[in-house]
Amino acid sequence: MKTMWMALAIGVLGSAALFADGKTKLTLWSYQEGDSPKVLQQLIAEFNASQDKAQVVYEYVPFANFKQKLTVSVMAQEMADIVIIDNPDNAAYAALGAFVDVSDLVSKWEGKDKFYPGPWKSTQYNGGQYGIPIDSNCLALYYDKNALKAAGLKVPTTWDELKAAAKKLTTGKRFGLAISAPKNEEGTFQYIPWILSTGADVTKVNTPAAVKSLSYLRGLVVDKSMSPEVINWTQGDVQKQFSAGKAAMMINGPWNIGSVKRDSPDLDFGVALIPRDKQYSSVLGGENMAITKTANRDLAWSFVKWFTSKEIENKYNSLTGQFPSRSDAIAVNDVWTKDPILAAFLEEMKYAMPRGPHPRWPEISNALSEALQKGLIGVSAPQAALDEAQTKVAKVLN
Protein backbone atom coordinates (compact mmCIF):
# COMPACT_ATOMS: atom_id res chain seq x y z
CA MET A 1 0.00 0.00 0.00
CA LYS A 2 2.78 2.42 0.87
CA THR A 3 4.49 1.79 -2.51
CA MET A 4 1.22 2.34 -4.36
CA TRP A 5 0.55 5.58 -2.45
CA MET A 6 4.00 6.89 -3.28
CA ALA A 7 3.51 6.04 -6.98
CA LEU A 8 0.22 7.93 -7.00
CA ALA A 9 1.85 10.90 -5.28
CA ILE A 10 4.64 10.94 -7.85
CA GLY A 11 2.06 10.95 -10.63
CA VAL A 12 0.30 13.96 -9.10
CA LEU A 13 3.56 15.84 -8.63
CA GLY A 14 4.73 15.26 -12.22
CA SER A 15 8.52 15.03 -12.28
CA ALA A 16 8.81 15.20 -8.49
CA ALA A 17 9.72 12.17 -6.39
CA LEU A 18 9.12 11.37 -2.75
CA PHE A 19 11.68 10.06 -0.30
CA ALA A 20 10.83 7.39 2.25
CA ASP A 21 10.26 10.09 4.87
CA GLY A 22 7.64 11.75 2.66
CA LYS A 23 9.81 14.70 1.62
CA THR A 24 9.56 15.88 -1.98
CA LYS A 25 12.80 15.68 -3.94
CA LEU A 26 14.04 18.92 -5.49
CA THR A 27 17.07 18.64 -7.77
CA LEU A 28 19.46 21.59 -8.02
CA TRP A 29 21.93 22.03 -10.90
CA SER A 30 25.06 24.14 -10.59
CA TYR A 31 28.23 24.50 -12.69
CA GLN A 32 30.20 26.47 -10.07
CA GLU A 33 33.73 25.41 -9.20
CA GLY A 34 36.24 26.34 -6.50
CA ASP A 35 34.78 26.14 -3.00
CA SER A 36 31.18 26.52 -4.16
CA PRO A 37 30.26 22.82 -4.55
CA LYS A 38 31.38 21.98 -1.01
CA VAL A 39 29.67 25.01 0.52
CA LEU A 40 26.49 24.47 -1.50
CA GLN A 41 26.23 20.92 -0.24
CA GLN A 42 26.79 22.03 3.35
CA LEU A 43 24.04 24.62 3.12
CA ILE A 44 21.67 22.27 1.31
CA ALA A 45 22.13 19.77 4.13
CA GLU A 46 21.35 22.55 6.61
CA PHE A 47 18.15 23.43 4.77
CA ASN A 48 17.09 19.79 4.43
CA ALA A 49 17.43 19.29 8.18
CA SER A 50 15.51 22.48 8.96
CA GLN A 51 12.12 21.44 7.57
CA ASP A 52 10.09 18.32 6.72
CA LYS A 53 8.64 19.01 3.25
CA ALA A 54 11.50 19.27 0.74
CA GLN A 55 14.76 17.40 0.22
CA VAL A 56 17.11 19.31 -2.10
CA VAL A 57 19.62 17.17 -4.00
CA TYR A 58 22.71 18.82 -5.50
CA GLU A 59 24.03 17.91 -8.96
CA TYR A 60 27.20 19.38 -10.48
CA VAL A 61 27.12 20.03 -14.24
CA PRO A 62 30.41 21.17 -15.88
CA PHE A 63 30.22 24.70 -17.22
CA ALA A 64 31.15 23.62 -20.75
CA ASN A 65 28.08 21.34 -20.86
CA PHE A 66 25.71 23.35 -18.70
CA LYS A 67 23.80 25.42 -21.25
CA GLN A 68 23.47 22.54 -23.69
CA LYS A 69 22.13 20.26 -20.97
CA LEU A 70 19.71 22.91 -19.76
CA THR A 71 18.46 23.64 -23.29
CA VAL A 72 17.92 19.94 -24.03
CA SER A 73 16.14 19.47 -20.71
CA VAL A 74 13.77 22.35 -21.51
CA MET A 75 12.79 20.75 -24.80
CA ALA A 76 12.29 17.37 -23.13
CA GLN A 77 10.54 18.91 -20.10
CA GLU A 78 12.92 16.98 -17.85
CA MET A 79 14.54 19.88 -16.01
CA ALA A 80 16.04 20.14 -12.59
CA ASP A 81 13.73 21.94 -10.16
CA ILE A 82 16.18 24.70 -9.26
CA VAL A 83 19.00 26.02 -11.41
CA ILE A 84 21.96 28.22 -10.50
CA ILE A 85 22.63 30.15 -13.67
CA ASP A 86 25.14 32.73 -14.89
CA ASN A 87 23.28 36.04 -14.56
CA PRO A 88 23.56 37.21 -18.22
CA ASP A 89 21.88 33.95 -19.32
CA ASN A 90 18.87 34.37 -17.03
CA ALA A 91 16.79 36.38 -19.52
CA ALA A 92 17.58 34.02 -22.39
CA TYR A 93 16.27 30.99 -20.53
CA ALA A 94 13.28 32.89 -19.23
CA ALA A 95 12.46 33.71 -22.88
CA LEU A 96 12.94 30.04 -23.77
CA GLY A 97 10.34 29.04 -21.19
CA ALA A 98 12.71 27.30 -18.81
CA PHE A 99 11.95 29.34 -15.70
CA VAL A 100 8.75 30.18 -13.87
CA ASP A 101 7.70 33.73 -13.01
CA VAL A 102 7.80 34.27 -9.23
CA SER A 103 6.63 37.90 -9.25
CA ASP A 104 3.64 37.19 -7.01
CA LEU A 105 5.80 35.39 -4.43
CA VAL A 106 8.49 38.07 -4.51
CA SER A 107 5.91 40.86 -4.03
CA LYS A 108 5.14 39.46 -0.55
CA TRP A 109 8.80 38.94 0.39
CA GLU A 110 10.65 41.28 2.72
CA GLY A 111 13.91 40.69 0.87
CA LYS A 112 12.78 42.10 -2.48
CA ASP A 113 14.14 45.62 -1.87
CA LYS A 114 17.50 44.55 -0.44
CA PHE A 115 19.41 43.67 -3.64
CA TYR A 116 21.86 45.76 -5.63
CA PRO A 117 20.29 47.12 -8.85
CA GLY A 118 22.62 45.37 -11.33
CA PRO A 119 22.18 41.78 -10.11
CA TRP A 120 18.46 42.35 -9.48
CA LYS A 121 17.92 43.60 -13.03
CA SER A 122 19.48 40.44 -14.43
CA THR A 123 16.65 38.33 -12.95
CA GLN A 124 13.90 40.19 -14.79
CA TYR A 125 12.44 39.58 -18.23
CA ASN A 126 9.44 41.06 -20.01
CA GLY A 127 8.05 42.50 -16.77
CA GLY A 128 8.40 39.24 -14.81
CA GLN A 129 10.71 37.99 -12.06
CA TYR A 130 12.53 34.82 -13.09
CA GLY A 131 15.12 34.33 -10.37
CA ILE A 132 16.90 35.76 -7.33
CA PRO A 133 20.60 36.78 -7.25
CA ILE A 134 22.81 34.71 -4.96
CA ASP A 135 26.30 36.10 -5.51
CA SER A 136 28.37 38.68 -7.33
CA ASN A 137 32.00 38.63 -8.40
CA CYS A 138 34.50 40.12 -10.81
CA LEU A 139 37.94 39.48 -12.26
CA ALA A 140 41.24 40.84 -10.95
CA LEU A 141 44.98 40.22 -11.32
CA TYR A 142 46.60 37.53 -9.17
CA TYR A 143 50.39 37.72 -8.91
CA ASP A 144 53.19 35.69 -7.37
CA LYS A 145 54.90 38.12 -4.98
CA ASN A 146 58.20 36.26 -4.91
CA ALA A 147 58.37 35.98 -8.70
CA LEU A 148 57.87 39.72 -9.10
CA LYS A 149 60.38 40.47 -6.35
CA ALA A 150 63.03 38.20 -7.89
CA ALA A 151 62.55 39.94 -11.25
CA GLY A 152 62.79 43.39 -9.65
CA LEU A 153 59.25 44.24 -10.69
CA LYS A 154 56.42 46.18 -9.11
CA VAL A 155 52.81 45.12 -9.55
CA PRO A 156 51.85 46.34 -13.05
CA THR A 157 49.11 48.97 -13.26
CA THR A 158 49.08 49.72 -17.01
CA TRP A 159 49.07 47.62 -20.17
CA ASP A 160 52.61 48.69 -20.99
CA GLU A 161 53.80 47.65 -17.54
CA LEU A 162 51.91 44.36 -17.76
CA LYS A 163 53.42 43.51 -21.14
CA ALA A 164 56.94 44.24 -19.89
CA ALA A 165 56.39 42.30 -16.66
CA ALA A 166 54.85 39.29 -18.45
CA LYS A 167 57.83 39.15 -20.80
CA LYS A 168 60.38 39.34 -17.99
CA LEU A 169 58.54 36.76 -15.87
CA THR A 170 58.42 34.21 -18.69
CA THR A 171 61.21 31.74 -18.03
CA GLY A 172 61.57 28.03 -18.71
CA LYS A 173 58.17 26.38 -18.28
CA ARG A 174 56.61 29.46 -16.65
CA PHE A 175 54.59 32.00 -18.61
CA GLY A 176 54.25 35.56 -17.40
CA LEU A 177 50.47 35.70 -17.66
CA ALA A 178 47.55 33.28 -17.99
CA ILE A 179 43.94 33.98 -18.91
CA SER A 180 40.99 31.77 -19.81
CA ALA A 181 39.87 32.01 -23.44
CA PRO A 182 37.67 29.05 -24.44
CA LYS A 183 34.88 29.49 -26.99
CA ASN A 184 32.12 29.95 -24.42
CA GLU A 185 30.95 32.40 -21.78
CA GLU A 186 34.16 32.00 -19.76
CA GLY A 187 36.12 33.34 -22.72
CA THR A 188 33.74 36.28 -23.16
CA PHE A 189 33.81 36.96 -19.43
CA GLN A 190 37.60 37.16 -19.46
CA TYR A 191 37.75 39.24 -22.65
CA ILE A 192 35.28 41.98 -21.66
CA PRO A 193 37.62 43.84 -19.23
CA TRP A 194 40.19 44.28 -22.01
CA ILE A 195 37.57 45.74 -24.36
CA LEU A 196 36.18 48.08 -21.72
CA SER A 197 39.62 49.28 -20.64
CA THR A 198 40.17 50.84 -24.09
CA GLY A 199 36.93 52.80 -23.76
CA ALA A 200 35.21 50.55 -26.31
CA ASP A 201 31.80 48.90 -25.91
CA VAL A 202 30.79 45.25 -26.32
CA THR A 203 28.03 46.28 -28.76
CA LYS A 204 30.60 47.86 -31.12
CA VAL A 205 33.56 45.55 -31.10
CA ASN A 206 35.26 46.41 -34.40
CA THR A 207 36.19 49.99 -33.53
CA PRO A 208 39.91 50.89 -33.42
CA ALA A 209 39.80 50.84 -29.61
CA ALA A 210 38.19 47.39 -29.45
CA VAL A 211 40.62 46.01 -32.04
CA LYS A 212 43.47 47.30 -29.86
CA SER A 213 42.30 45.01 -27.05
CA LEU A 214 42.52 41.86 -29.17
CA SER A 215 45.79 42.98 -30.78
CA TYR A 216 47.26 43.45 -27.30
CA LEU A 217 46.31 39.93 -26.16
CA ARG A 218 47.51 38.46 -29.46
CA GLY A 219 50.84 40.20 -28.89
CA LEU A 220 51.28 38.43 -25.54
CA VAL A 221 50.90 35.07 -27.29
CA VAL A 222 53.23 36.05 -30.14
CA ASP A 223 56.05 37.07 -27.80
CA LYS A 224 55.44 33.88 -25.76
CA SER A 225 54.50 35.73 -22.58
CA MET A 226 51.18 33.85 -22.64
CA SER A 227 50.56 30.26 -23.71
CA PRO A 228 48.47 29.65 -26.86
CA GLU A 229 46.81 26.91 -24.79
CA VAL A 230 44.72 29.59 -23.05
CA ILE A 231 42.06 28.92 -25.72
CA ASN A 232 41.51 25.52 -24.07
CA TRP A 233 41.77 26.57 -20.43
CA THR A 234 38.82 27.10 -18.11
CA GLN A 235 39.26 29.54 -15.25
CA GLY A 236 39.81 26.50 -13.05
CA ASP A 237 42.61 25.35 -15.37
CA VAL A 238 44.21 28.81 -15.19
CA GLN A 239 44.16 28.56 -11.40
CA LYS A 240 45.98 25.22 -11.61
CA GLN A 241 48.65 26.78 -13.86
CA PHE A 242 49.17 29.62 -11.38
CA SER A 243 49.23 27.34 -8.35
CA ALA A 244 51.73 25.02 -10.03
CA GLY A 245 54.12 27.90 -10.76
CA LYS A 246 53.52 27.69 -14.52
CA ALA A 247 52.14 31.24 -14.62
CA ALA A 248 53.50 34.15 -12.61
CA MET A 249 50.28 36.16 -12.99
CA MET A 250 46.71 35.30 -13.91
CA ILE A 251 43.35 36.93 -14.43
CA ASN A 252 40.79 35.14 -12.28
CA GLY A 253 37.92 35.53 -9.87
CA PRO A 254 37.55 35.34 -6.10
CA TRP A 255 35.94 31.90 -6.22
CA ASN A 256 39.44 30.46 -6.84
CA ILE A 257 41.08 32.01 -3.77
CA GLY A 258 40.50 28.89 -1.70
CA SER A 259 41.76 26.60 -4.47
CA VAL A 260 45.01 28.57 -4.78
CA LYS A 261 45.58 28.35 -1.04
CA ARG A 262 44.90 24.61 -0.95
CA ASP A 263 46.90 23.72 -4.06
CA SER A 264 49.90 25.85 -3.14
CA PRO A 265 49.87 26.63 0.60
CA ASP A 266 53.38 28.11 0.47
CA LEU A 267 52.66 30.47 -2.42
CA ASP A 268 52.78 34.11 -1.34
CA PHE A 269 50.35 35.77 -3.72
CA GLY A 270 48.55 39.06 -3.98
CA VAL A 271 45.61 40.46 -5.91
CA ALA A 272 45.42 43.83 -7.64
CA LEU A 273 43.34 45.74 -10.16
CA ILE A 274 43.56 44.50 -13.74
CA PRO A 275 46.12 46.80 -15.43
CA ARG A 276 44.50 49.52 -17.50
CA ASP A 277 44.77 50.95 -20.98
CA LYS A 278 42.65 54.12 -20.74
CA GLN A 279 40.71 53.15 -17.63
CA TYR A 280 40.46 50.45 -14.99
CA SER A 281 37.80 47.89 -15.80
CA SER A 282 36.43 44.52 -14.87
CA VAL A 283 33.33 42.49 -15.58
CA LEU A 284 30.46 41.79 -13.22
CA GLY A 285 29.94 38.11 -12.68
CA GLY A 286 27.50 36.33 -10.52
CA GLU A 287 24.76 33.79 -10.37
CA ASN A 288 21.03 33.73 -9.93
CA MET A 289 18.87 30.95 -8.56
CA ALA A 290 15.84 30.21 -10.74
CA ILE A 291 12.89 27.83 -10.41
CA THR A 292 12.06 25.80 -13.51
CA LYS A 293 8.66 25.39 -15.13
CA THR A 294 8.37 21.72 -14.14
CA ALA A 295 9.17 22.26 -10.44
CA ASN A 296 6.86 22.32 -7.46
CA ARG A 297 6.99 26.11 -7.39
CA ASP A 298 6.01 26.70 -3.78
CA LEU A 299 8.40 24.11 -2.37
CA ALA A 300 11.24 25.32 -4.58
CA TRP A 301 10.53 28.91 -3.52
CA SER A 302 10.85 27.89 0.14
CA PHE A 303 14.46 26.89 -0.59
CA VAL A 304 15.27 29.88 -2.81
CA LYS A 305 13.87 32.29 -0.23
CA TRP A 306 15.86 30.62 2.54
CA PHE A 307 19.08 30.58 0.51
CA THR A 308 18.81 34.26 -0.43
CA SER A 309 18.15 35.50 3.09
CA LYS A 310 20.81 37.93 4.30
CA GLU A 311 22.24 35.41 6.76
CA ILE A 312 22.65 32.58 4.24
CA GLU A 313 23.88 34.85 1.43
CA ASN A 314 26.49 36.14 3.85
CA LYS A 315 27.53 32.64 4.88
CA TYR A 316 27.64 31.29 1.32
CA ASN A 317 29.63 34.20 -0.10
CA SER A 318 32.03 34.59 2.80
CA LEU A 319 32.91 30.88 2.52
CA THR A 320 33.31 30.92 -1.27
CA GLY A 321 35.20 34.21 -1.58
CA GLN A 322 32.45 35.98 -3.50
CA PHE A 323 30.21 38.93 -2.69
CA PRO A 324 26.56 38.94 -1.66
CA SER A 325 24.03 40.45 -4.06
CA ARG A 326 22.09 41.70 -1.02
CA SER A 327 23.35 44.97 0.41
CA ASP A 328 22.33 44.02 3.94
CA ALA A 329 24.18 40.68 3.75
CA ILE A 330 27.59 42.33 3.60
CA ALA A 331 26.89 44.12 6.87
CA VAL A 332 26.50 40.83 8.77
CA ASN A 333 30.29 40.70 9.21
CA ASP A 334 33.40 42.52 7.98
CA VAL A 335 35.20 39.64 6.26
CA TRP A 336 35.35 41.52 2.93
CA THR A 337 37.25 44.46 4.38
CA LYS A 338 39.52 42.63 6.86
CA ASP A 339 40.93 40.10 4.40
CA PRO A 340 43.45 41.85 2.07
CA ILE A 341 42.70 39.53 -0.87
CA LEU A 342 38.94 40.03 -0.61
CA ALA A 343 39.47 43.75 -0.04
CA ALA A 344 41.35 43.91 -3.36
CA PHE A 345 38.43 42.28 -5.12
CA LEU A 346 36.04 44.64 -3.35
CA GLU A 347 38.02 47.54 -4.82
CA GLU A 348 37.88 45.93 -8.28
CA MET A 349 34.10 45.59 -7.95
CA LYS A 350 33.88 49.38 -8.34
CA TYR A 351 34.93 48.97 -11.97
CA ALA A 352 32.93 45.84 -12.79
CA MET A 353 30.35 46.25 -15.56
CA PRO A 354 27.45 43.83 -16.22
CA ARG A 355 26.96 41.65 -19.28
CA GLY A 356 23.60 42.27 -20.90
CA PRO A 357 21.05 41.50 -19.72
CA HIS A 358 19.63 40.60 -23.12
CA PRO A 359 17.40 37.65 -24.04
CA ARG A 360 19.84 36.78 -26.83
CA TRP A 361 23.01 37.36 -24.83
CA PRO A 362 24.35 33.84 -25.58
CA GLU A 363 24.55 34.80 -29.28
CA ILE A 364 26.43 38.00 -28.47
CA SER A 365 28.73 36.08 -26.15
CA ASN A 366 29.43 33.38 -28.74
CA ALA A 367 30.43 36.02 -31.29
CA LEU A 368 32.88 37.61 -28.84
CA SER A 369 34.49 34.39 -27.62
CA GLU A 370 34.86 33.09 -31.17
CA ALA A 371 36.58 36.34 -32.22
CA LEU A 372 38.86 36.11 -29.17
CA GLN A 373 39.96 32.60 -30.12
CA LYS A 374 40.54 33.43 -33.78
CA GLY A 375 42.54 36.53 -32.92
CA LEU A 376 44.63 34.91 -30.19
CA ILE A 377 45.91 32.01 -32.28
CA GLY A 378 46.15 33.94 -35.53
CA VAL A 379 43.37 32.22 -37.49
CA SER A 380 42.18 35.75 -38.31
CA ALA A 381 43.76 39.16 -37.87
CA PRO A 382 42.19 41.01 -34.88
CA GLN A 383 40.38 43.46 -37.16
CA ALA A 384 38.91 40.69 -39.33
CA ALA A 385 37.90 38.60 -36.31
CA LEU A 386 36.10 41.53 -34.72
CA ASP A 387 34.51 42.66 -38.01
CA GLU A 388 32.94 39.21 -38.21
CA ALA A 389 31.84 39.40 -34.57
CA GLN A 390 30.31 42.83 -35.06
CA THR A 391 28.21 41.58 -37.97
CA LYS A 392 26.76 38.88 -35.72
CA VAL A 393 26.23 41.26 -32.77
CA ALA A 394 24.49 43.83 -34.97
CA LYS A 395 22.03 41.20 -36.25
CA VAL A 396 21.10 40.34 -32.66
CA LEU A 397 20.70 43.95 -31.54
CA ASN A 398 18.79 45.07 -34.62
Q: Verify that 30 and 73 share a domain, yes or no.
A: yes
Nearest-10 crossing angle of helices 185-197, 361-377 = 80
Of 397, 144, 374, nearest in space to 249 by CA? 144
Q: Verify that 215 and 105 share a domain, yes or no.
A: no
Q: Verify that 133 and 265 share a domain, yes or no.
A: no
Q: Verify that 215 and 303 share a domain, yes or no.
A: no
When pLDDT is cut at 50, 70 and 90, the band that residue 4 belongs to is very low
Q: Verify that 368 and 239 share a domain, yes or no.
A: yes
Whether omega for the bond prior to residue 357 falls within 30 degrees of 0, making it cis, is yes
CATH number of domain containing 276: 3.40.190.10
Q: Verify that 12 and 95 share a domain, yes or no.
A: yes
Q: Verify that 105 and 21 share a domain, yes or no.
A: yes
pLDDT of residue 236: 95
- What is the Rg, in whole angstroms, of the alpha carbon atoms belonging to the chain? 22
Q: Which domain holds residue 304?
A: 2-137+285-353
Q: Which of 353, 369, 384 is at the close of a domain?
A: 353
Q: Verify that 29 and 146 share a domain, yes or no.
A: no
Q: Verify that 179 and 272 share a domain, yes or no.
A: yes
When pLDDT is cut at 50, 70 and 90, the band that residue 16 belongs to is low
Averaged pLDDT, 79-91: 95
pLDDT of residue 377: 94
Q: Verify that 295 and 276 share a domain, yes or no.
A: no
Tally the domains of the chain.
Answer: 2
Q: Verify that 206 and 224 share a domain, yes or no.
A: yes
Q: Verify that 326 and 206 share a domain, yes or no.
A: no
CB atoms within 10 A of CB 371: 29
How wide is the angle at C-alpha 32 spanned by C-alphas 184 and 15, nearest 5°? 100
Q: Does residue 2 surpass a pLDDT of 90? A: no
Averaged pLDDT, 182-205: 96
Q: What is the pTM of this model?
A: 0.86
Strands 128-129, 124-125: pairing is: antiparallel
Q: Which of 318, 333, 353 is at the close of a domain?
A: 353
